Amino acid sequence: MSVDPKSFGKVAVLMGGRSAEREVSLMSGSGVLKALQAKGVDAHAFDPAERDLVELKRKGFGRCFIALHGRFGEDGTVQGALELLGIPYTGSGVMASAIAIDKVMTKRVWIAEGLPTPKFVLLRRGTFTREQVRSIPDELELPLIVKPAREGSSIGVGKVHGYSEMQDAVEAAAALDADVLCEQFISGDEVTCPVLGTGDAARALPVIRIVAPEGNYDYQNKYFTDDTKYLVPCGLPAGEEEAIQDIVLKAYRVLGCRGWGRADVMIDAATRKPSLLEINTSPGMTGHSLVPMSARAAGISYEDLCLQLLAMAALDHEAGEAKRR
């Protein structure tokens, strides 16, 4: 992909923000900023938690690379503001971002489209009783997973092994989100698959198999240790990688994602059937992040990846559409 770095004009790398993933976002944004500058892009750091987004227009920024994670960055809010400002941005638009950040809404769309995802029960803060919480393992079986519906980076995620652990796990998740997702646990291989592009032109990158210490791929093991192993090539049986890539592409497209994303998948050890867990529309770009790792296996360097993503920056509604009405 041949692009002129100067053609992008003044670029803001949005990083930091106000979500629980601020620390990771700052790491992602720093890496992206350095890469774009190394490629000759006039890129600058911009933290929406410290500066008003209106400054983007005042300061003459013509394009944004969104390196924000979680709420107020990956959930359609910043995307909507940039639509109003008329500044093209990387990643999915308002609707896809808003749906994808919500694991329950994402599941509902996937289920409606016939895509596989683990069974679940939704609890709403302040409306469930102890008896309801205690009965969930009867429906989903043990062990099961409890997580906030709209957090990322495994924040607030708990694995429940017994009835007595349910209440604490639900309360911990409810402290972070009004919606608590209780999800069937799939025992087997954990994999992830990035996607680049939009619509029919979107393509899946190599699948990565994740082998975490004791199967615990939590916040610490994601970002701050070297104990987790990432296998790419993934080493899955013949045909499985292609099947996962196909499902991930469908999952990405039905949500209306664009630019890039990354879907997490569990493969049932007994049946070898894949189940979609969630999709990230603003994936990590840190030293431990998976999209750069997969891209590298496909022959795309970190710097070239950042440049390609920036080149795909767009708006849901171009200014010309409004003028024609």
Catalytic positions, written as ranges? 21, 153, 223, 262, 264, 278, 280, 284
Task: Say how far apart CA 95 and CA 85 lie, in whole Å.
Answer: 17
The answer for 256, left when phi > 0, alpha when psi is -120 to 50, beta otherwise, is: left
- Cα distance between the two ends of the chain: 34
| CA angle (304 as vertex; 9, 13 as ends), nearest 5 | 45
Check: CB of residue 47 under 8 Å from CB of residue 16.
yes
The helix/strand/coil state of 258 is coil
The helix/strand/coil state of 206 is coil
Check: CB of residue 28 under 8 Å from CB of residue 289.
yes
- For residue 112, CA distances in Å to 105, 249, 285 come to 11, 16, 31
The answer for 320, left when phi > 0, alpha when psi is -120 to 50, beta otherwise, is: alpha
Residue 179 tokens read as 């919606």
